[in-house]
Structure formats: structure tokens, C-alpha cells
Chain A
């Protein structure tokens, strides 16, 4: 137990990264507001960045920039930071793209709440379906309801 606690304290960045990651995932999966989902994604990605950068860190190391006056210096590993720069670029593009989608949805439905959007869409679909059914009957059409149910379960 004591060893475990010691390990936890020594490796605290990993611990916090995991906590942040879980917060992010929880936000993405449980919030119905699209902006909050996006925030969750960003928190989650930051957690991964912290994880990587912590992996590259060396206690007492200096920045990985060549300094000829200090030949004995220990440099931290620059590779994870460089990798995370790529990760940040990806995260920026994801954020921008998601924002433009949210704006599109907001202009269309007047709300940025996933649940309300799904409700509006389903009721519209049902009305269209009903109208179509009145117009034209076909034996293969009896399964429409189950399709609707599937539809709703697709919302996260």
C-alpha cells in the first residue's frame, strides 16, 4: 500500500492526466449541450498531452536547446513535446470543425442541445412518415416504428 502511494506521488502527472481524461470523457458522453461536448473533447485531449509531456520529462533536465557553454547539461526528451505539437494541431482543427458544425446546427434548429435537436428531428420525421403512410400504403411498411426507436438510441 505504501509503495503504491509512493508510486502515485512520484508519478503524479500521470495520475492527474488520467483524472482529466475521465472528466473529459464523462463530459462528452453525459452532457447534451454540444458546446459542452466540445469542451469535454478538449479537456480529454489536454489530458493526453499532459501524459505524453510527463513521459518526456526528466527531473532536473533543461530545455532541449543546444547550449555549447554547458556541455554537461541533461536535456529533457524533446520528442514527446514535438509529437504533442502535432496533437495540438489536430485538436485545433477538430475544435474549428466542430464549432462550424455547431453553428450550422444552431442556425437550423435554434438550439445547441443534442436532446432537443433529436426531439425536433424525430417529431419531424414521424410527421413525414405519417403523411407518407396516409398517402401510400404498402405491406412492407409495417416496420416503421422499430426504425424510429433505433433512431433515437443513436443519440449519445
Chain B
């Protein structure tokens, strides 16, 4: 993996890939895609980084502990967002019933808790994908 062009191109493109992943996550409720697809894109940017620059550098960016924490946090975030309904005295995962302003249809902030939940799911998916990749790669050695 000592390819100059590949490394330069990756250095140029990968940040945008990562940001695009977050774009897809945040626009999940008004456009195709969503938190799973966006999370995969975010995860893929790191996976591509690790394949091009080597596993060690990838590991240095995201250590196993960080991945474990983000994985747990992403899902816990979902749980916390679900609990908002319970604190307001309505069922789990309630959105409009919990008194959250839904905004106008078609706008970015128009889905109440859904986009926040999507952020948690996206983080979870991204870190899971990276963990799977690292696990498989390190098993090979």
C-alpha cells in the first residue's frame, strides 16, 4: 500500500465522504437514505482510510476502546431519546405526543426526535462497521 496517488486522492476525498455520510444521516427523513445508509458511508470512509494507509494508522485514529464507547453510546442515545416520551407521560418513542414541535413537512428540522434518533443509529452503524472490518482484518494476521 505505498501508492502515492491513492494516498493523495484519499486524503482529498475521504473527509468529504465522511461529511456526506453525516449529510445522509441528517436528511434521512426527507430524502432517500437514512441513518443506516449514512452510517455505512461514514464507516466506509474510515475503512477506506485504513485500507489505504494501513491498519495501524486506522487503529491510531480510532482505537478499540473508542469504538466500544461510540457503539454503546449510539444505542444508548436511541434509548434516551425513546425515554423522552416516557418522561412526558406518554408511551416509549413518542414524538408528537411528547409535545415536540414537528415543523413544516419537507424542511430539515421537521421530524422531531426522528433525526436525533437517526444520529444515534448512524454512529452505531458506523462504529459497528469499522469494528467488523478491524475484527476481520486482524483475524487474518
Contacts and interface: CB of A to CB of B under 8 A. Distances in A.
Nearest to B131: A96
Contact of A103 (B30, B31, B140): B140
Contacts of B132: 96
B135 to A, nearest CB: 6
B3 to A, nearest CB: 26
Interface stretch (A10-18, A52-60, A63-71, A130-138): A63-71
Contacts of A152: none
Contacts of A66: 30, 105-106
B49 interface: no
Contacts of B34: 85
A100 B138 CA distance: 10
Given A100-B135, A103-B136, 5 more contacts: A66-B105, A66-B106, A89-B36, A96-B132, A103-B140
A100 B139 contact: yes
Contact of A63 (B32, B36, B135, B136): B32
Nearest to B31: A65
Contact of A65 (B30, B135, B139): B30
Interface residues of B, number: 12
Contacts of B31: 65
A68 B106 contact: yes
A65 B36 CA distance: 18
A62 to B, nearest CB: 12
A107 interface: yes
B85 to A, nearest CB: 21
23 contacts: A63-B32, A65-B30, A65-B31, A65-B32, A66-B30, A66-B105, A66-B106, A68-B106, A85-B34, A85-B36, A88-B36, A89-B36, A96-B132, A96-B136, A99-B136, A100-B135, A100-B136, A100-B139, A103-B136, A103-B139, A103-B140, A104-B139, A107-B139
Nearest to A96: B132
B120 to A, nearest CB: 15
Interface in A78-127: 85, 88-89, 96, 99-100, 103-104, 107
Interface in B30-51: 30-32, 34, 36
Interface string A7-46: 0000000000000000000000000000000000000000
Q: Which of the listed residues A96, A99, A100 has the most CB atoms from chain B within 10 Å of its own CB?
A: A96
The 6 closest A-B pairs by CB, nearest first: A96-B132, A103-B139, A66-B105, A66-B106, A85-B36, A99-B136
Contacts of A65: 30-32
